């Protein structure tokens, strides 16, 4: 698979490049507009009295400093060096590949004043498997992700470190082994490489993509729990959701009707109404879907946006400074989604509690244990779920409400979007494990019930039992949770399941 970086990148295409190693290509249209835009900048630079931020001036609070013509190219190199100030563990390969793809996609729009060779070298990093070493911490989310992007830029000029063929090398050696030439930066090019939102966007995009599967799995697992606890399935009747017509909750209710095989014409139950963790699955899960849809809309815009500064416009030949590098759209969307996902974990943990609680789980044995007392069953699995839920509550605290002024107060409001995006990925991983706990708990409850499962829920049960055995005596639970968590990473089974049973 080859992905064209032409300013119309999809989330699926992004993931193909970042995670699956797909190659990229640059169309002739992209090449032409980048060349034309560079000529526009070079014409503007001929006016010796014209101040152009980051080209004829210094950066940040040093904007008033005029840069002599003979020092302008060195200014770009110095910018990359001085901004390579990250600390901490390296970002994962998929995140860095995503950063490169997004930066190239943005620069290819032709408003950044770079030479074509810069764009071609970024594409070569992806296609030839060179991944710059980018420390995780340092971004404030404005002016973009300066520090992470500077580490990517360092590799392009043969400085810093990079991975190649599984080895961590000097960037110079990695480029040499891959047959990629180092770049000698010219005016504006260092600034164009680092002034953007691509690091936080890459992290958030991968987290959001992974969440898509979990939203569907959450409905399936919630349906299995509701059925096992003999819930009142009339609470999923479509007429209820016509009176509060949120699309997300209507889809979840539809999924639950399929899973429980609810038929309003024939259904009856002595159970008048369920606790909220069962009755309100559509309202809670549906609201999370709304947040997720918003995040995808933001990402769709951001991954194809031009986010550096200043911008060069060919038609008018204007060079205009602005603030597209500010990460607020990503920061707010990441905070919104991680908060929503935390709620999805919270309600899952409450369902686990009902499955295990001796006074709440009906006819089921205490903590779903064989011989309760001698055995503790799945008692401690809830502890794990509760711990993850609590951690997610901390991670859900919004990063975007914080701002620490920098650069002599020239950059006096920042988004902290990278923190929000990283928290989102952590919340997503915790949520997967919380859902895994509910999945193995609901399947364990099935061992003590006689009511046959519906066809779709039996399909799920058999799938789980192929990897996770029943707990017929006390044993270590960590590996079972891990196996169930791995099942929730499987997109192929989920796709077949949703297509077979018509889930949304």
Q: What are phi and psi of 245, to 5 degrees?
A: -80, 60
User: Cα(446)–Cα(436) distance, rounded to whole angstroms?
Assistant: 15
User: Cα(90)–Cα(75) distance, rounded to whole angstroms?
Assistant: 27
Outline where 70-228 has alpha helix (H).
72-83, 93-107, 116-127, 146-156, 171-178, 189-194, 198-228
User: Cα(323)–Cα(310) distance, rounded to whole angstroms?
Assistant: 9
Contact status, residue 260 vs residue 227, Cβ threshold 8 Å: yes
User: Cα(255)–Cα(324) distance, rounded to whole angstroms?
Assistant: 40
Catalytic sites, residue numbers: 53
User: Cα(161)–Cα(118) distance, rounded to whole angstroms?
Assistant: 18
User: Cα(370)–Cα(375) distance, rounded to whole angstroms?
Assistant: 7
Give long-range contacts, CB 8 A cutoff, 24+ apart: 69-75.
72/187, 73/184, 73/185, 73/186, 73/187, 75/190
Nearest CA among 145, 135, 130 for reference residue 97: 130
User: Cα(162)–Cα(129) distance, rounded to whole angstroms?
Assistant: 10
């Amino acid at each position: 698979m080859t992905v064209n970086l032409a300013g119309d990148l999809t989330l699926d295409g992004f993931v193909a490049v970042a995670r699956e190693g797909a190659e990229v290509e640059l169309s002739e249209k992209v090449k032409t507009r980048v060349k034309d835009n560079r000529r526009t900048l070079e014409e503007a630079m001929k006016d010796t009295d014209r101040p152009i931020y980051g080209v004829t001036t210094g950066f940040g609070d040093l904007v008033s400093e005029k840069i002599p013509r003979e020092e302008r190219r060195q200014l770009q190199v110095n910018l990359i060096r001085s901004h390579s100030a990250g600390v901490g563990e390296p970002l994962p390969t998929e995140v860095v590949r995503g950063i490169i793809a997004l930066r190239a996609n943005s620069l290819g729009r032709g408003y950044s004043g770079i030479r074509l060779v810069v764009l071609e070298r970024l594409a070569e990093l992806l296609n030839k498997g060179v991944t710059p070493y980018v420390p995780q911490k340092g971004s404030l989310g404005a002016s973009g992700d300066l520090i992470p992007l500077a580490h990517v830029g360092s590799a392009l000029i043969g400085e810093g470190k990079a991975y190649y063929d599984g080895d961590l090398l000097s960037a110079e050696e990695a480029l040499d082994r891959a047959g990629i030439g180092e770049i000698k930066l010219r005016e504006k090019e260092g600034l164009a490489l680092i002034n953007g939102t691509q690091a936080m966007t890459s992290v958030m995009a991968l987290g959001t993509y992974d969440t898509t599967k979990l939203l569907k799995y959450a409905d399936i697992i919630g349906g299995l729990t509701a059925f096992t606890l003999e819930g009142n399935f009339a609470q999923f009747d479509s007429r209820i959701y016509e009176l509060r017509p949120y699309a997300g909750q209507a889809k979840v209710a539809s999924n639950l009707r399929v899973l429980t095989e609810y038929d309003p014409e024939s259904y009856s139950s002595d159970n008048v109404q369920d606790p909220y963790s069962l009755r309100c699955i559509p309202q809670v899960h549906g609201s999370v879907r709304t947040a997720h849809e918003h995040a995808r809309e933001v990402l769709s815009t951001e991954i194809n946006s031009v986010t550096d500064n200043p911008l060069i416009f060919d038609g008018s030949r204007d060079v205009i400074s602005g603030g597209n590098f500010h990460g607020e759209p990503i920061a707010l969307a990441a905070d919104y989604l991680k908060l929503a996902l935390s709620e999805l974990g919270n309600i899952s943990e409450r369902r686990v509690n009902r499955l295990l609680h001796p006074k709440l789980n009906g006819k089921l044995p205490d903590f779903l244990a064989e011989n309760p007392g001698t055995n503790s069953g799945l008692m401690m699995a809830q502890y794990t779920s509760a711990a993850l839920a609590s951690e997610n509550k901390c991670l859900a605290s919004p990063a975007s409400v914080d701002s620490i002024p920098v650069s002599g107060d020239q950059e006096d409001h920042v988004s902290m979007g990278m923190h929000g995006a990283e928290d989102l990925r952590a919340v997503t991983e915790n949520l997967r494990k919380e859902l895994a706990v509910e999945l193995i708990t609901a399947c364990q409850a099935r061992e003590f019930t006689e009511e046959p499962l519906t066809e779709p829920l039996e399909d799920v049960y058999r799938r789980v039992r192929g990897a996770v055995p029943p707990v017929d005596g006390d044993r270590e639970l960590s590996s079972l949770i891990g196996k169930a968590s791995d099942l929730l990473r499987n997109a192929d089974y989920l796709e077949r399941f949703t297509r077979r049973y018509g889930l949304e």
